[in-house]
Amino acid sequence: MTNTSKPVLGMILKGYPRISETFISNEIRLLEKRGVKIHIISMRKPRENFTHKSVKEIQAEVSYLPSELDLLMKELFNSTEAEAWLKCANYKTDPEYKKRADLIQKKYCANKSDASLKHLLQAEYIVEKILPDSGINHIHAHFAHSPTSVARNTSLLSGLPFSFTAHAKDIYTQAPEKITDKISAASFAVTCTGYNCKYLQSIAPEGKPIHKVYHGIDLSLFSSKRSPEAKAPYNILTVARFTTKKGLPTVFKALKELDKRGLDFKYRIVGEGDEREQTLALIDELNLTHRVEWLGTRPHEEVLEEYKKADVFTLGCEIAPNGDRDGIPNVLAESMAMSVPVVTTNISGIPELIENGKSGLLVDPKDPKAMADALERILTDQELRGKIIPEALKRVHEVFDNTYWIEKLFEVYAQHGIKAC
């Protein structure tokens, strides 16, 4: 099926490229520099009409999977009707292939959901349309939900080994037994925080390797040459997707508290998301429109300019009702690398990067008053700023340098037989 003389890592992604997933494109770019040949398999085409400059450096071939069931059926069977459940398991004459497809049907598709069928057919598409002559000898998926489901099915249909990287939402919005099942089938798993690693190890079969590899950031992109002093009107910045786990209502309510106290500030927020309208509506309800400017989505180069103008960066990270939560948002590390002090919450992996009172200020989630107190303190206490800013810069260089972590990831891959060309 593959030309093993030229090993290729097939990397399954939910979408490529994505503005909100620079950590994945940076990983691919750095692995390529390390000599790993990659073939990107994207489950959907990009939704944004622009991308970050770093993506242009990536050399990997990109294949896009049909994202709708009728398109998959048409591509695979020249039919838009799924007349029989798992037709792909029955139209093959190869008994070994049929055995594997039947196994998928029995073990993973018992609920007969459209999503399960789509993930199986996408795996079939990979086996039929992408793997032949590709050189792919290992499949790796980013995110433990649908990309890993496709990777697992591809592995069963092709016999190739697979692995995956688990991040945040994909871990905590799935039933634990589903992730355990995927870990059991995978060669290994990677995750981006110690918090995640501890949880995954607690539900993994004994002896199954779970590797902690921070995303890290490209520290060469960030300049820290600025005075720690802040003066009114203060500039407060947030870069975030509009989703519950970012805790933006907590931030807005903290801003209202600062406004009541007479603090002179401007607040700028960069980002988009499904909950944008209802989230931004809260700005009007709180009578903060004179303080707030929403900038929408911006390329990374423009976000860097926002950091340069900011006196503090803030996020209200929380655990959403469905279990969704952040790992360590890269924007926190970026702010620290730009000498912008951070006020955020103490959930998930965030304390692994920020030590409260030393390299930033952490408060409990959903506590607007505590956040307002922390924001006022970091903006007005110049002595505190003079201590936290250099300590944060030191901290991010010590624990979040992506050149260090890409070497660790390369070692993980090599340990499991995935090597440079």
Alpha helix positions (H), 159-225: 169-172, 176-185, 194-203
Q: Do 89 and 61 touch, CB atoms closer than 8 A? A: no
Q: Is 338 within a domain? A: yes
The two tokens of residue 195 are 């918090």
Longest dimension (CA), the chain: 76
Residues 48 and 65 in one domain: yes
Q: Is 287 within a domain? A: yes
Q: Do 318 and 366 touch, CB atoms closer than 8 A? A: yes
Q: Is 421 within a domain? A: no
Burial class (CB in 10 A: 0-12, 13-18, 19+), 83: exposed
- The pLDDT tens digits of the residues spanning 264-311 come to 999 999 999 989 999 999 999 999 999 999 999 998 889 999 999 999
| Residue type present at position 180 | T
Residues 202 and 61 in one domain: yes
Burial 304-315 (b: 16+ CB within 10 A, else e): eebbeebbbbbb
| pLDDT value of position 81 | 43
Residues 205 and 228 in one domain: no
Residue 145: give the domain boundaries: 8-216+402-415
Residues 315 and 175 in one domain: no
Number of domains in the chain: 2
Residues 168 and 242 in one domain: no
Residues 209 and 226 in one domain: no
Dist. CA 412–CA 222, nearest whole Å: 28
| pLDDT value of position 83 | 46
| pLDDT value of position 113 | 72
Q: Is 257 within a domain? A: yes
Dist. CA 233–CA 231, nearest whole Å: 6
Q: Is 390 within a domain? A: yes
Question: Radius of gyration (Cα) for the chain, nearest Å?
Answer: 23
How far, CA to CA in Å, does 420 sit from each of 5, 16, 188, 321, 413? 12, 23, 18, 42, 9
Residues 392 and 410 in one domain: no
Residues 264 and 362 in one domain: yes
Backbone angles phi, psi at 369, to 5 degrees: -65, -45
Taking the C-alpha atoms of 121, 127, 59 and 169 in order, what is their torsion angle to the nearest 10 degrees? 40
How far, CA to CA in Å, does 173 sit from each of 47, 201, 328, 337, 379? 23, 17, 17, 31, 36
Residues 296 and 231 in one domain: yes
Residues 406 and 394 in one domain: no
Residues 101 and 235 in one domain: no
CATH of the domain at 232: 3.40.50.2000
Burial class (CB in 10 A: 0-12, 13-18, 19+), 74: middle
Residues 259 and 327 in one domain: yes
| pLDDT value of position 323 | 94
- The pLDDT tens digits of the residues spanning 70-86 come to 888 788 776 544 444 44
SS3 295: strand
Q: Is 420 within a domain? A: no
Q: Is 73 within a domain? A: yes
Q: Is 1 within a domain? A: no
End-to-end CA distance of the chain: 18
Which regions in the chain score pLDDT beneath 70?
1-5, 19-20, 48-53, 78-112, 421
| pLDDT value of position 68 | 87
